[in-house]
A and B are shown apart, each in its own frame.
Chain A
Amino acid sequence: MTIEHLLVIAYLAGCIGIGVLASRKVLVSQDEYWVAGRRIGTFVNAMAIMAALASGGSIIGVMGLGYGRGIPYTLALFAGAVVGFPLASILVAKPLRNFGKFTITDFLSFRYPNPIVRYVVPSIIVVSFTVYIVAQMKAAGITANLLLGIPYNTAVTLAAIVFILYVSIGGMVAITWTDVIQGILMLSIVVGTAFVLVSRLGPPSSIIREATTVAPALGEVMRQPLGSYLGSFLIWMTAISVIPHIVMRVYTSKNAQEARFSLNLAMIFYSAMILCAVFIIVPVGKIHFPSLQDADTIFLRVMASEFSPFIRGLAVAAVIAAVMSTTDALLLACSSAISHDLLGNLIERKLSQKTGKWITVAVAWGVGLLALSMAYSPPKLITEFYSAAIGVLSAGLFVPTIAGLWWKKANVAGGTASLLAGTLVYAVVQFTPGTPPMSAILLALPASALAMWIFSKLGPPNPPEVMDQIQKLHL
């Protein structure tokens, strides 16, 4: 057993230990399990938000995307996510934190009380996040395969079991504690790697110049249709306001002001990590490995060729951390979508709280195992794969959420029509042959907004008590 194996085993054992410790607290109440008792401080929450967003996609995938599709395309996608945070902090953080429930479905089904909304929203979340989890599992699998020598399928299976185990027992408290450790670990590894490479090879501008001399396409824009650039930017810019595992983090804050601080502080950490990866590690990878078959392996190749076994062990732990910190949040969001949003009434009325908790655990296992079975045949570029899945959330939920908070005339008919129009248009365009990657959102968002406007005009006005409550959310 090598030093890399020992580091990873110690790290995973630590995460499970935290899950077990946290489980003693979270079985007490739903508030503890889903939103960690709403008392997470600004820095801790910021690091947890960063870790939740910085998935395997952000370490493995961002570099794979940069390597395969060029740096500008990658930056368009990730700049969308970064801009999405200030946007979310202005548009949704305060009112949703003041709303004080658990999930985005809670808000939408309160604002648009219609069974379609109650059932379609969690269904979209589960489908989208299951795809997202598959991408994370691929990242864990190829990392363990390339740096530890474990066969891909075995690595994916082991990783999946550990993730599901500690999410299902620990809830949001376990996730927050481990996310902070994972956030610090992945930030240190990526920024540290970039720093070492710069000290060896010179400033980033000369590394980029050398890499673009070897491969000019790395710095060019027109490798993809313009719709793909704009689409990937828009998907992530709008997704952050509605993406359930980030919205749940807003609910964990002590108050609305701290929620806003956390969101923006998280983005400073996140931007530092992405820019180090894209401006330094990707160009170095392109210089050393100009024609890789699987672009997603670029970070691992650089680590294997440039660093000692101890650093490689830390890198494996960092990637597993990135995968884990997102997968756990996604699994928790999927669990909440099914056991809280879909089965919530049944659990509250007919089952004890403890039985409800066990249903949640079973759901986490169900979703995790489904994603695992899909991860045995992995996608090519993971970031593009899961971003397309996130697009359906943006298409379906962004307009109803923002209009629900900020437009008084948005009513049940408008909200329901907007949700369905955005989702259906996105699905149809996405699967139409010849559509440029990521561009379906360019039609889906306007369709959703148009449906909101037309049907809100046609439908009956909102009851005054609902509007009073919405008004209070902004105070």
Chain B
Amino acid sequence: MTRSDFWFLIAIIIFAGISFLPWSRRIIISGMALFGWMMAALMVISPLFVLLRLFLEQRKKTKEKKI
């Protein structure tokens, strides 16, 4: 496992852990608990982040091949 993969997993676990803490259930934004908004953010951020990393990884490999 690469170092960036490892830190990504740690970041996801920390974000999910924070989302499940009691304070996120009490704060209401636009009628919905912050917990719900955080879960929605997680749904968007996590695949986007990995995709971005995969693109960068592939671009780096292509550059290295050219050299």
- Residues of A at under 8 Å CB distance from B? 71-72, 75-76, 78-79, 82-83, 85-87, 89-91, 205, 208-209, 211-213, 216, 218-222, 226, 229-230, 233, 257, 260-261, 264-265, 267-268, 271, 274-275, 278-279, 406
Q: Can you list, as one digit per residue, whether each of B28-40 has a CB less than 8 Å from chain A (1) or not (0)?
A: 1011110110011
Q: Does B14 have its Cβ within 8 Å of any Cβ on chain A?
A: no
Closest chain-A Cβ to B41's Cβ sits at a distance in Å of: 9
CB-CB < 8 A to A86: which residues of B?
8, 12, 46-47, 49-50
CA distance A219 to B25 in the complex (A): 10
Q: Does B56 have its Cβ within 8 Å of any Cβ on chain A?
A: no
Known: A257-B54, A264-B54. A85 touches B47 (CB 8 A): yes
Given contacts A208-B31, A257-B58, 4 further A-B contacts (CB under 8 A): A72-B35, A83-B12, A86-B12, A90-B9
Closest chain-A Cβ to B50's Cβ sits at a distance in Å of: 4
CB-CB < 8 A to A274: which residues of B?
43
CB-CB < 8 A to B28: which residues of A?
219
CB-CB < 8 A to B36: which residues of A?
71-72, 75, 219, 221
A interface majority secondary structure: helix
B33 touches A87 (CB 8 A): no
CB-CB < 8 A to A218: which residues of B?
31-32
**Which of B20, B30, B47 counts the most A-chain CB atoms under 10 A from its CB?**
B47
User: Which of these, B31, B32, B43, B51, contacts A82 with CB under 8 Å?
Assistant: B43
User: Which of these, A72, A89, A226, contacts B39 with CB under 8 Å?
Assistant: A72
CA distance A85 to B46 in the complex (A): 9
CB-CB < 8 A to B42: which residues of A?
79, 82-83
B30 touches A205 (CB 8 A): yes
Known: A76-B39, A219-B31. A261 touches B9 (CB 8 A): no
CB-CB < 8 A to A89: which residues of B?
50
CB-CB < 8 A to B51: which residues of A?
261, 264-265, 268
CB-CB < 8 A to A265: which residues of B?
47, 51
CA distance A365 to B22 in the complex (A): 48
